[in-house]
Amino acid sequence: MQHAAPLSKLIDALRALPGVGPKTAQRMAFHLLQGGRGGARTLADALTAGLAAIGRCKRCRMLTDAELCSICSAPARDAALLCVVESPADVVAVEQSAGYRGRYFVLHGHLSPLDGVGPEQIGARELEALLDSGEVREVILATNSTVEGDATAHFLGECVAVRGIRATRIAHGVPMGGELEYVDSGTLARALEGRVSL
Amino acid sequence: MQHAAPLSKLIDALRALPGVGPKTAQRMAFHLLQGGRGGARTLADALTAGLAAIGRCKRCRMLTDAELCSICSAPARDAALLCVVESPADVVAVEQSAGYRGRYFVLHGHLSPLDGVGPEQIGARELEALLDSGEVREVILATNSTVEGDATAHFLGECVAVRGIRATRIAHGVPMGGELEYVDSGTLARALEGRVSL
């Protein structure tokens, strides 16, 4: 059936959300316009306010409402350690592991030449400028363990190495609590390759 | 980690969407504020426009931007047949089955006394007024096949019957393509009970 135009537009707009297909978008639109009208108002306002207030941290490109994000402006953070991640969600994930006290650099993607994403788009120039400023002693490349993530880590690793700075990659292997029987063969091969002495 | 205030507010606002938990809301917020800024603007505008333009059809309570929805105002529709459903999404589902040419009545919920949802809230008064107008000859009760949906159908069925109008319930049984071996016992019991002669 044909929806009213404002309803169709809302359904289309909701499909911009990650992981939302036509059926879920319709369900969300009906929910917002049925009982949850207060929620719809709040969401529209939060989107407008977020768009106006949230930008990227000048140093690490994390999403923030200030010039420097809360991590870059925290004096307790070790400026000599820099963890390079693909997305703001990765910063949250590493922070939740609670073992890291350095700073971050957010690429907002990975190298993907076919999609027009080159070094410019992932902020390689800003990263190089940060490295040239002289504070950083080690760069931890924590991009995803995918083909694109590995390629991005490899590319950035070279930019880091030519400056005489230590470049490291996060370890890959069997996840904690993982049983060998159920771990995929690629992971197991990496775990064997990267074995460490006890 | 602590998000910037406008970002936290956006994440909270996104949780008003059905089926969206804290992790998904965070992913959506990052997505909207990263690459998808155009999408965020469009969504905020569509929400505002939708809230202003979309209301309920005066006759059937379906979501619409006009006084009467497109189904109620279509002359080809049979005004003698009324299909009572719980939500606007159910109207879409019945329309997609393409076998129905009557009108609808949307309850926007089901009877649930513990949550304060009584006959008033599901529009029983409006439904009775519609029945009293004299056009309707049969009411098809197509509420969900849940305890609440069955109770609501039973309650509305009595309101319909006292007016001398025919009340019917949609058939329950084995779904098309369903194999008996994998159908749950409740459904199978209903299918046996509701058997029809060939």
Range in A26-35, A124-133, B182-191 the model is least confident about: B182-191
Residues of B in contact with A31 (CB under 8 A): 17-18
Q: What is the mean pLDDT of chain A?
A: 90
CATH of the domain at A91: 3.40.1360.10
pLDDT of B9 strictly over 90: yes
Rounded to a whole number, what is the distance in Å from the CA of B49 to chain A's nearest CA?
7
For residue A28, being part of any structural domain is answered with yes
Q: How many domains does chain A have?
A: 2
For residue B16, being part of any structural domain is answered with yes
What's the rounded mean pLDDT across residues A46-73?
92
3-state SS assignment for residue B64? strand
For residue B195, being part of any structural domain is answered with no
Of A175 and A25, more confident? A25
Cα A194 to Cα A148: distance, rounded to the nearest angstrom = 20
Contact A27 B89 (CB under 8 A): yes
For residue A108, being part of any structural domain is answered with yes
Domain range spanning residue B9? Answer: 5-53
pLDDT tens, residue by residue, B55-85: 999 999 999 999 999 999 999 999 999 999 9
pLDDT tens, residue by residue, B163-178: 999 999 988 888 888 7
Q: Which candidate from B28, B47, B53 shows the least CB-CB separation from A44?
A: B47
Cα A53 to Cα A67: distance, rounded to the nearest angstrom = 11
What's the rounded mean pLDDT across residues A78-98?
91
pLDDT of A124 strictly over 80: yes
Model-wide pTM > 0.90: no
Of B34 and B10, more confident? B10
Band the pLDDT of A36: cuts 50, 70, 90.
low
On whether both B86 and B153 belong to a single domain, the answer is yes
What sign for the dihedral angle of Cα A107, A111, A117, A119? positive
The pLDDT of residue B181 is 82
Do A104 and A85 form a contact (C-beta atoms < 8 A)? yes
